[in-house]
């Protein structure tokens, strides 16, 4: 039997209240990229999990997935199917063999147009709907439009809002503008939780990644997220290490726990283990729970199911036997 511990409250810790903008703190941020790379290269080699232990890690990952569809050809029926998969992400026969009750994914993530559909499809569950917003993925809409989009998604029932920052604020070192922007987004969210997408692949340097992460937290972000999934470079362990270290520093300075969401390009079960190991080693077991760790993915779930099938039966099944929507 696989032992799996979950929590029922999507956000069980005190919410980040933000801080005043502290430019001295930002100026003191440096990144030793060589040290980061040395550290990340050993994350998956120093810890080996196999058989039942690996199955437990993968099942935990399922509970942290923001099951996502962000395509131009999204339809109501596709979103409904995705929501049903979020409610029953792992085949019943696998869970029975593992001796486990049903689990669910961490959230469903959609464009604003599909928020009401997703909310209705998830009625009676604790699965929140996350809406990408603020001119996702490029974030170049007028500010008034961005704020209106956030408010519309919250009104439609979204409990989480994934915003995109204006990259030019980072590239021009206009930290006040970035802080003011994210703070305005946080206020527009009201009770909905804010995930700040840093778009790491478009920020030029790792130091910019670190500073943009810290500014977002200072402005009140509940989560920081690597990517939109639309950039040429998305989530990887190097940027994750830098962002997680900023989260740890922010916790030490303020006492507020910030969540982390890698997104984009995470499609294999073996890949997500590295992110889980990183969270455990840098921040502890609490950051393996869905209130502080989310994974922006779609095809990942299908591969996790294939690995679980192999654990239970000793055979790999065809990928089309584990549809995600």
Tell me which residues are annotated as active site.
Answer: 162, 225, 261
Question: Cis (ω within 30 of 0) for the bond into 202?
Answer: no
In whole angstroms, give the CA distance from residue 178 to residue 274: 30
In whole angstroms, give the CA distance from residue 180 to residue 146: 14
Q: What residues contact 179, with CB distance under 8 A and at least 6 apart?
A: 21, 215, 218, 219
Which of 176, 246, 254 lies closest to 13, judged by CA? 254
DSSP H/E element including 160: strand 160-164
Burial environment of residue 196 by CB neighbours within 10 A (0 to 12, 13 to 18, 19 or more): buried
Residue 29, CA atoms < 13 Å, CB-side half-sphere: 23
- In angstroms, how far is CA 291 from the centroid of its own chain? 10
In which residue are the tokens 């916790």 written?
251
- 161 bridge partner residues: 131, 194
**Which residues of 62-136 form beta strands (DSSP E)?**
65-68, 107-110, 129-132
Q: What are phi and psi of 143, to 5 degrees?
A: -60, -40
Answer yes or no: are the C-beta atoms of 281 and 43 closer than 8 Å.
yes
- In angstroms, how far is CA 10 from the centroid of its own chain? 13
- Secondary structure (3-state) at 297: strand
Which of 289, 319, 292 lies closest to 304, judged by CA? 319
In whole angstroms, give the CA distance from residue 157 to residue 141: 22
Answer yes or no: are the C-beta atoms of 86 and 105 closer than 8 Å.
yes
């Amino acid at each position: 039997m696989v032992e799996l511990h979950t929590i029922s409250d999507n956000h069980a810790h005190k919410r980040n209240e933000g801080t005043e903008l502290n430019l001295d703190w930002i100026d003191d941020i440096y990144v030793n990229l060589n040290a980061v790379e040395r550290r990340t290269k050993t994350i998956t080699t120093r810890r080996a999990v196999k058989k039942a232990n690996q199955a437990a890690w993968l099942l935990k990952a399922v509970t942290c997935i923001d099951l996502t569809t962000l395509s131009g050809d999204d339809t109501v029926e596709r979103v409904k199917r995705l929501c049903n998969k979020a409610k029953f992400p792992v085949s019943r026969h696998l869970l029975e063999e593992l001796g486990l009750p049903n689990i669910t994914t961490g959230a469903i993530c959609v464009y604003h147009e599909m928020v009401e559909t997703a909310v209705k499809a998830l009625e009676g569950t604790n699965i929140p709907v996350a809406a990408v917003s603020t001119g996702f993925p490029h974030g170049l809409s007028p500010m008034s439009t961005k704020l209106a989009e956030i408010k519309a998604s919250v009104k439609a029932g979204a409990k989480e809002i994934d915003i995109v920052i204006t990259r030019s604020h980072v590239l021009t070192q206009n930290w006040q503008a970035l802080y003011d922007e994210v703070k305005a987004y946080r206020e527009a969210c009201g009770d909905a939780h804010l995930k700040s997408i840093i778009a790491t692949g478009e920020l030029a340097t790792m130091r910019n990644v670190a500073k943009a992460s810290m500014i977002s937290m200072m402005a009140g972000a509940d989560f920081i997220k690597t990517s939109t999934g639309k950039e040429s470079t998305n989530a990887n362990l190097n940027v994750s290490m830098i962002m997680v270290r900023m989260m740890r520093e922010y916790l030490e300075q303020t006492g507020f726990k910030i969540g982390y969401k890698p997104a984009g390009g995470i499609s294999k079960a073996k890949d997500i283990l590295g992110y889980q190991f990183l969270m455990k080693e840098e921040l502890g077991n609490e950051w393996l729970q869905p209130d502080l760790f989310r994974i922006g993915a779609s095809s990942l779930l299908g591969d996790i199911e294939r690995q679980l099938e192999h654990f239970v039966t000793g055979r790999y099944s065809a990928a089309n036997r584990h549809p995600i929507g």
